Each structure stands twice: as structure tokens, then as C-alpha cells.
Structure 1
Amino acid sequence: MLQHLITHGEDLRMVPTDHNQLTAAVQNLREELQTLPEGTDAARARVLARWTGIGLLSLGNYDDARMYLRRALDLATASGNTQAVIATELNLADAYRYTGEAQTADALYRKALDDARSKHPELVDFALQHLGKHLMEQGNLIPARAHLEEALWLRTAKGDAGLIESTQAALDRVELLINRSSADTAGPAGGDTEAAQWSRRWTSWLQSRTTVWAPTGWDEGFPALRDAVRDLTAHERVHPRHLRDQSFPVDLLAGMAEEAEKALAADGYLHNGKWNAAVGEAANRFAGQVDLAAVVARSTGLEVEQPHNGVYIAYLEEGQFLDVHVDEFGFGEANLILCLKHERLTAAPTVSCTVFIDADGYLECDLAPGDCVAFDGALTPHGRTPLGAGESVILASFGFRARDQASRTVAHLPPVPL
């Protein structure tokens, strides 16, 4: 209705493309709303009230914008139009965000996202986009990036170029703010930022030359990667090792699997195409009772401290995958991925695997529940091949720091090939 008169400014907030034209158009909507004949379909009043509010918000008339958007929300709620309720909640949340009322805005954004997930999945990307920008403005950059990455994934699937461009612009701004924050805290040498950039450049180089989507081409393409990967993995402190028959207590594994499913359902976020959620008490109890650091040390020869971080990871839909990459340095010198659940069809021709690249080629690890694999995620290219029909995987990933804390900086590691 007013889309052609509204764009986004440098701060990604709505602004007029032409202030005078938008002002006139909003006035026309207000007049139409005020003169609607008795008995007019309430849906028309709702649409007029909502777009009047959006136009006023873009013009900076925040108090009036909230008044019209509340009216639109009341009309949507009274009619039982849950799709319109979600859309208007997002607009009203914007109106509060623009005036610095972050708490009210946050509550509205999260309610809209919850309702979209449960009732209108076609609106989830919009709710994620709005909430992501709100979190960005509040300085919560990592969750902001996670929400926007999920929105981008959904919008890419929709194939709407305009929506994709909008989300990519927000993501680019979040990444800029994250990099600035890292530069501010990294110290004179800027080591953290340099390491993060090194990891991202290696990932980009690897993904430009290989992919988990085409395993049949690995043998043909690997010679072009061999020397570069050999130089990179020569610095590994842990070579990939598939650990079977660890005899982990069944009750601890079951407790962690249950915790993972609840965490992913309640607070899961999409990152690089996979679902992530923070580990909790069950994972911490497991790591302590089985002495996970000792498991890594016995199997790899590297003495490590107890895990300093962890995350639950899930692949739940056919085709989900994790392309070849290297982790950022902050996750530790050793990583351990533990399989909590792996469901598959008995007659499936292929199965999704964790995959690694080293100087000898590609290593596939088909992890069954209770199996784990130890490796050096910062220096070992790794990923997961796509899920087949009826397949789902839930994992726990832990990061460990070496006890000797041997210096490892990008200055001593191979540069990204040209």
C-alpha cells in the first residue's frame, strides 16, 4: 500500500523515499479510515490503520504511529486473524524500538516469533528479521547474527531476491559491528580479529574448491587441495579419531539427549544450516562424571582441560548439511563430537556422516549413538554430508584447551592459498 514510498536508511530503520509524497499518502489513508461507512468490513479498517501506523512510523511520528498500530492490532485480534496479529505485532514492536523502549519491543518481537513458529511458518523469517535487528541495536550481536542467519536461510529457500537482500544487509551490519567489537578488545596486536579473519578466509577457499554435496568428485578434485591441506593439517595437535565403544553410562547419555531435544525445541537457532542450542546441566554432569578431558587425552595423546564450551547440534530435515570449513580458534585445540541420536531408514541407500579432509584424503565417520570423534577443528577441514529422507541427527560438540597452552597464532600457520 505504501511500500513504494518507504525504504531503509543506513541504520536499517524505515524512512521515506520522498517525505512529502509519503506524508500526503498517509493523510489520505487517515481520511479514508475516518470516513469509512458504517458496516464496512472490519478488515478494511484494520489494513488502513496498520498502514497509517507504518507510514507515520517511517515519518518519525512515533506516538501517532503507536496509536494506529494498537488499533490495527485490536481489530486483528478481535477478528481472529492470527496472521495479521503477528504482522502488526512486529510493526508495533518497531514503533517501541524506534523510541528506545527496548523491553516492550522485545516482548512483542518474541511473542510474534513464537506465534509464527507455531501457527504461521511463512512469517517466521519476518519475525526473525525484526528481532535480529532489535538485538543488534541492543548490542546482543551473536544472537542477532543467529536470528538473521536463520532468516536468510528461510528467505533463500523462498527465493525472494528483495527479502534476501534485506536480510543480507542486516547480516553485513552485524558482522561489521562484531569485527569492530573484536578489534576494540583484541589489544594492540589485534590477534583475535586476525585469527577470526584467517579462519573465515580458509573456509571460503575450501568451499570454493570442494563441497560435501558432491562426494563422487572428491577423488578427482582432491589433488588440487592436497598440498594446501597438507600444509594446514601438519599443525594439528589432534588428528581425527573415530572413538567407538567408550562405554559411556547409558543414563547420562539419555539425560543429555533429552536435554538437547528440549533445548533445541525451546531455544534452538539456525547457524550455517544446522540447529544449535546451548548445553546445560546434563552435558556438564556428563563431562565431569566420565572425565571427558581424560577420554580426549587417552585417545589423542594431548593433555587437555575439562571442556570450556559446548553446544548441541541437530540436523532434522532431509538435505540439511554442513559444508567443509574450519572453526575459529576460540573453540580450543581439541574438539569432540558425541552422537546422542541418529535415526535413519533401514533401507536408505546413503547415510549422513561427519567428514574430514587431511593430507591423505577424505575420512567419513558414521557416528552411532554413543560414538564420538576427536579432532582439531581449527586446523582440520570438516563438515557433514546431507541428510537423507527420514534421517535425523543430534550431536553434542565440546571444545577443549591444551594444558600446556602452547602458543598457536596465525603468524606461525599457513596463509590462505591464492
Structure 2
Amino acid sequence: MDQLDNWNEWNPILMPLTPSGLLPRNGPRREVAGAVADMMAPKRALSPRFLEKVEIESQLWDAIRNDMAKARPSAVAHGARRLGEVDQDIVQAVSRSAFATFLRRSVKGVVLSDQVSLSYLYYEERDWVPLHVDGLGRFEYSCLVCVDRKRVAGRPSATYFLLGRTEVAAFDLSAGEAVWFHGRYLPHGRTPLGPGEMVALLNVGFSAARTSSTETSGLVDVAPTRPMVGEMPGSSSKW
């Protein structure tokens, strides 16, 4: 196994680098985080891509919103956030959807799994996610779809991606927007939510079934990234 593939060894290094949920602008912790991101960059099959409008048909979208509301009371704590279980009928419907097909076709040279994995992510005031990478398996590739969002005055919380020592992209999604990325080789996290903030996301995950020896026909390009520019969300420092 390539040393970069062992996420169980990388996360104990990455996660302590953002003890309050904020990525430091400079200093030893930022240098370490940036070095890891640079090492992983050549294996990254997909840079984070912003999707301005998630093409999920309205009946399925309504079912997701209703199911997410029902699952919220039984969601379990996972770090400084909660995870909810998705109804299996919705899992199957999303797996067969045109949206899932679009995502599968957007990664050149990789055949993604036919079956998607779904989870609901609930964030409230003071919730955050440390810098980390995702493991080999169901969420090697992830599309975070915003289902609900409540903002308040001040800098908003955002999901951020450390592309290298000097490059960071961050996305504060509104309902119906999404970001699609290769989480196995892309350090990422979420800055803390402020008072009164709320975010509800659907995580659509894929594993890599195999590497394609030839490019898949009919590949499509997803929309370009729309990074937040300027100050780090939730932080007094800049990128």
C-alpha cells in the first residue's frame, strides 16, 4: 500500500492542527498541513467543484427534506456535529438518479460505484470539523449537498479545502448548492458555526470501483469552483 493511502495514519497528524476548528494562516501547524496537502495533490482525481444547482427532481428533493427532518431527533453525535441515517428508499432513488450519473461521469479515468452511500450531517452553533481526509471506502469521493441553511450577521461557517501550502478554497453553500470533491486525498474541514447558525447537508458518497484504462465516453465538465475570497470564515486571520 502507498503510504499516502493510509488515512488512519494521516488523520492523527492532521486533526490536531486545527484544535479550535480554524486553519492557521502561518506557523508550524500550517506548514505541516500544507506539506501533507502538497504530497497528496498528485493522487487527487478531482479538485473541489462548486455546483450552483443540484439537479435532483422535485419529488425526490421533497422526500429528502422530509426524511432529513424525521431523522434529526435520532441523529448521533460524531465529533462536533451529528449524523443522521437516510431511508433506504432514498438511497436507492439517489443511486439511480441523473444527478448520481452526472457525478460518476465527471471524474476522468475512474469508474465510481453504482451504489451511493448517503448520510445526513447536522451542524448547529459551535459545531465544527477538524482538518482531515476521508478513508478508502464509501465516501472516498463526496458531494456535500446543502439541504437547509440559516445564516446570521458576521462571517459565516464554511467547508474549506487545503489544496496546498498556499491555496485554500472554501464554500458556504445555500440550499440546493453542492461541492464535489475527492476527500481521500484532499485535507478538508469546517470552521465553527456562530450563534444562531445552522447547516443541514446530505453527503453523497462514492467509492472507486476501479481505475479506467481508457477515458470514459461522454465525460462532462462540472461547474468551476467558487471559492470564498478574503478572510477565513470564522477566523480573524486571512488565507
- TM-score by shorter chain over 0.5: yes
Q: Which runs of 4+ in 1 moved over 4 A?
A: none
SS in 2 for 1:245: coil
Confirm or deny that 1:236 pairs with 2:44: yes
| CA shift digits 1:200-258 (9 cap, x unpaired) | 3211211233456334x325553443333211232122221121123332332222021
Confirm or deny that 1:354 pairs with 2:159: yes
Which residue does 1:330 correspond to in 2? Answer: 137
SS in 1 for 2:59: helix
How far residue 325 of structure 1 moved from its aligned partner, in angstroms, is: 1.0
Bigger fraction of residues in strand: 2
SS in 2 for 1:378: helix
**Cα distance in 1 for residues equivalent to 2:119 and 2:211:** 23
How far residue 342 of structure 1 moved from its aligned partner, in angstroms, is: 0.9
Confirm or deny that 1:393 pairs with 2:199: yes
How far residue 286 of structure 1 moved from its aligned partner, in angstroms, is: 3.3
What's the % identity of the aligned pairs?
23
Unaligned stretches of 5+ in structure 1? 1-190, 407-418
Match for 1:371 among 166, 177, 184? 177
Alpha carbons of 1:286 and 1:309: their partners in 2 closer, same or farther (altered >3 Å)?
closer
* CA-atom RMSD in angstroms: 2.6
- The TM-score, its normalising length taken from structure 2, stands at 0.76
How far residue 402 of structure 1 moved from its aligned partner, in angstroms, is: 2.7
**Cα distance in 2 for residues equivalent to 1:290 and 1:367:** 21
Which residue does 2:218 correspond to in 1? Answer: none
Contact 1:356 1:364 in 2 (8 A): yes
Unaligned stretches of 5+ in structure 2? 213-239
Match for 2:34 among 226, 246, 249? 226
After the TM superposition, which residues 201-212 of structure 1 pair with which residues of structure 2 at under 5 Å, given as runs? 201-211=9-19
How far residue 382 of structure 1 moved from its aligned partner, in angstroms, is: 1.2
Which residue does 1:343 correspond to in 2? Answer: 150
One-letter identity of the residue aligned with 2:86? V
How far residue 377 of structure 1 moved from its aligned partner, in angstroms, is: 1.6
- The TM-score, its normalising length taken from structure 1, stands at 0.45
Which residue does 1:309 correspond to in 2? Answer: 117
Task: Please say which structure displays the higher CA radius of gyration.
Answer: 1
Higher relative contact order (CA 8 A, sep 6+): 2
Residue-pair matches, total = 207
SS in 1 for 2:56: coil
| CA shift digits 1:295-326 (9 cap, x unpaired) | 2134433442334422111113x111111111
Alpha carbons of 1:226 and 1:211: their partners in 2 closer, same or farther (altered >3 Å)?
same
After the TM superposition, which residues 129-278 of structure 1 pair with which residues of structure 2 at under 5 Å, given as runs? 198-211=6-19, 213-215=21-23, 217-220=24-27, 222-265=30-73, 267-278=74-85
Alpha carbons of 1:308 and 1:326: their partners in 2 closer, same or farther (altered >3 Å)?
same
SS in 2 for 1:336: strand
Contact 2:120 2:201 in 1 (8 A): yes
Which residue does 1:7 correspond to in 2? Answer: none
SS in 2 for 1:329: coil
How far residue 397 of structure 1 moved from its aligned partner, in angstroms, is: 1.0
| CA shift digits 1:44-72 (9 cap, x unpaired) | xxxxxxxxxxxxxxxxxxxxxxxxxxxxx
**Cα distance in 1 for residues equivalent to 2:150 and 2:7:** 32
